[in-house]
Chains A and B, each alone.
Chain A
């Protein structure tokens, strides 16, 4: 950032803080929405009032251009990087990323477009899409989303399965609809999953307001923030739990288990393959850790069997795990 002419004294150069503060106020106004004609005129007048104002404004414009040139989601995640424990968890994701694993191949070719703007995946498929407003969605296995955008709102209707949403800035509110209610996104990354009788919402960035169908919610209530997840039905919200970024590893075709009950492990993998996995009750409360492919059930089972010294028997569409 330092392009000063050699020998120029720094102090002579400095623009008074008061002038820079005024420029900052203008930037904030512009950030909140387009300036009204009267405001534009006033800004012009302010710029022309002195050479220092003009200099400050040149900087402000450069700052706006630079910020505008960044890909928002990537830039946000990079600049807003966490420290401490979460940083370690994200380090784990990086480690996974370093491994050259062929089953990472993005399997999204087989999806088909349904009526209107629908997005659908069948079992074992994933689908990534960028919508007209720049919002990005990723559908997990066996999922369906309708995109209903009009001049006043952006609505994503989750028909079944799970969708991960990275919202793009737009004056229209972005909402997600499930069987149990509506979610209002507040500048955010989140995922929504339709379960049998409830919806599971996980927020990774920003916040989401939950409006269960039959509950009246005052504004400012039912806000789920980054790092939290919640289940809700039509009447009310369950308790808020912590959620980790590694939950999203499915987007790369992975399941990251960290001390996960075996039962949960098998249930997760059953979402991706047309197979029924059962465990010997003698395995009891066995918990497993590790990174497994979700698109290659035989490989995942082999990895599990090897790590935990288990036997896997397969007959037709039935898989049985025992000691």
Chain B
């Protein structure tokens, strides 16, 4: 165990407790600055998420001690931030899509939250794909379009369409956990 008040950037390994005590305030400020238009509440929530993530990722017995706490936290915080921003834009796009649909066609609120979760998961995977690949994939899976039609719409050769869709499926399968 380290002394609880060792300097934050010390190269001494430290535990999650120490990490929390020494860096929580700093992390909240770091987030508050990046999320300044969203208010303090969002930054606090995300700081909480980040420490939770640290905790779960370090539950295993084999976890290495953290040597550069702030660098480590910044790396996780950036991932959480990216994911959160993407989630925001996803929910916004969802609301806009709903607006174009008359009220009776809206899914129930419960169903909507289930759909949004699934959309968020798929969205994070699709994020790593090139726009064209993503487009071809969505046309095939959600629009149910034939590959030859996708080739016409996107103005690309059929083998390219096949390559794109295959790439997208492979990325999804690679990133999915086993149940």
A interface residues, Cβ below 8 angstroms from B:
1-4, 6-9, 13, 17, 20-21, 23-25, 27-28, 31-32, 55-56, 58-60, 62-63, 66-67, 69-81, 90, 93-94, 96-97, 106, 108, 128, 130, 136, 138, 167-170, 186-188, 206-207, 209, 220, 223, 225, 248, 251-252
Asked whether A74 and B101 contact (CB < 8 A) given A3-B177, A58-B178, the answer is: yes
**Cβ B56 vs Cβ A73 within 8 A:** no
**Cβ A248 vs Cβ B100 within 8 A:** yes
The chain A residue with its CB closest to the CB of B59 is A6
**Cβ A206 vs Cβ B173 within 8 A:** no
**Cβ A77 vs Cβ B93 within 8 A:** yes
Which residues of the partner chain B approach A3 to less than 8 Å between Cβ atoms?
A: 177, 179
- Once bound together, how far apart are the Cα atoms of A17 and B176, in whole Å? 13
The chain A residue with its CB closest to the CB of B114 is A69
**Cβ A93 vs Cβ B96 within 8 A:** yes
Name the contact of A7 in the complex, choosing from B61, B92, B146 (C-beta under 8 A): B61
Given A6-B59, A20-B174, 14 more contacts at CB 8 Å?
A1-B121, A7-B59, A7-B60, A7-B61, A21-B166, A58-B178, A59-B178, A77-B96, A79-B123, A90-B96, A93-B99, A207-B153, A225-B153, A251-B100
The chain A residue with its CB closest to the CB of B168 is A24
**Cβ B165 vs Cβ A21 within 8 A:** no
**Cβ B99 vs Cβ A66 within 8 A:** no
B128 CB to closest chain A CB, in angstroms? Answer: 13
**Cβ B100 vs Cβ A72 within 8 A:** no
A111 CB to closest chain B CB, in angstroms? Answer: 13
The chain A residue with its CB closest to the CB of B145 is A187
The 6 closest A-B pairs by CB, nearest first: A169-B144, A7-B60, A187-B145, A24-B169, A81-B93, A187-B143
Asked whether A80 and B105 contact (CB < 8 A) given A70-B115, A94-B95, the answer is: no
B50 on the A face (CB < 8 A): no
Which residues of the partner chain A approach B138 to less than 8 Å between Cβ atoms?
A: 76, 79-80
- Once bound together, how far apart are the Cα atoms of A303 and B120, in whole Å? 40
Which residues of the partner chain B approach A207 to less than 8 Å between Cβ atoms?
A: 152-153
**Cβ A4 vs Cβ B153 within 8 A:** no
**Cβ A67 vs Cβ B141 within 8 A:** yes
Categorize the interface residue count of chain B: 35 or more
Which residues of the partner chain B approach A56 to less than 8 Å between Cβ atoms?
A: 173
**Cβ A187 vs Cβ B99 within 8 A:** no
**Cβ B178 vs Cβ A55 within 8 A:** yes
**Interface Cβ pair total, 8 Å cutoff:** 175
- Once bound together, how far apart are the Cα atoms of A94 and B4, in whole Å? 50
Which residues of the partner chain B approach A73 to less than 8 Å between Cβ atoms?
A: 97, 101
A sample of 17 cross-chain residue pairs with beta-carbon separation below 8 angstroms, ordered by A number, consists of A3-B177, A7-B59, A56-B173, A69-B118, A72-B143, A72-B144, A75-B119, A75-B142, A76-B138, A94-B96, A97-B96, A187-B144, A187-B145, A223-B152, A225-B155, A251-B102, A252-B99
- Once bound together, how far apart are the Cα atoms of A9 and B102, in whole Å? 49
A192 CB to closest chain B CB, in angstroms? Answer: 17
B70 on the A face (CB < 8 A): no
- Once bound together, how far apart are the Cα atoms of A67 and B123, in whole Å? 12
- Once bound together, how far apart are the Cα atoms of A31 and B170, in whole Å? 14
**Cβ A6 vs Cβ B56 within 8 A:** yes
A47 CB to closest chain B CB, in angstroms? Answer: 14
Name the contact of A106 in the complex, choosing from B59, B103, B121, B173 (C-beta under 8 A): B103
B139 on the A face (CB < 8 A): yes
**Cβ A81 vs Cβ B89 within 8 A:** yes
- Once bound together, how far apart are the Cα atoms of A32 and B140, in whole Å? 8
B26 on the A face (CB < 8 A): no
Which residues of the partner chain B approach A93 to less than 8 Å between Cβ atoms?
A: 96, 99-100
**Cβ A28 vs Cβ B165 within 8 A:** yes
Which residues of the partner chain A approach B107 to less than 8 Å between Cβ atoms?
A: 71, 74
**Cβ B146 vs Cβ A32 within 8 A:** yes
- Once bound together, how far apart are the Cα atoms of A80 and B122, in whole Å? 11
**Cβ B94 vs Cβ A169 within 8 A:** no
Interface hub of B90, B96, B104, B124 (most chain A Cβ within 10 A): B96
The chain B residue with its CB closest to the CB of A94 is B96
Name the contact of A62 in the complex, choosing from B143, B145, B165, B176 (C-beta under 8 A): B176
- Once bound together, how far apart are the Cα atoms of A79 and B100, in whole Å? 15
B175 on the A face (CB < 8 A): yes
Asked whether A66 and B122 contact (CB < 8 A) given A59-B176, A80-B134, the answer is: yes
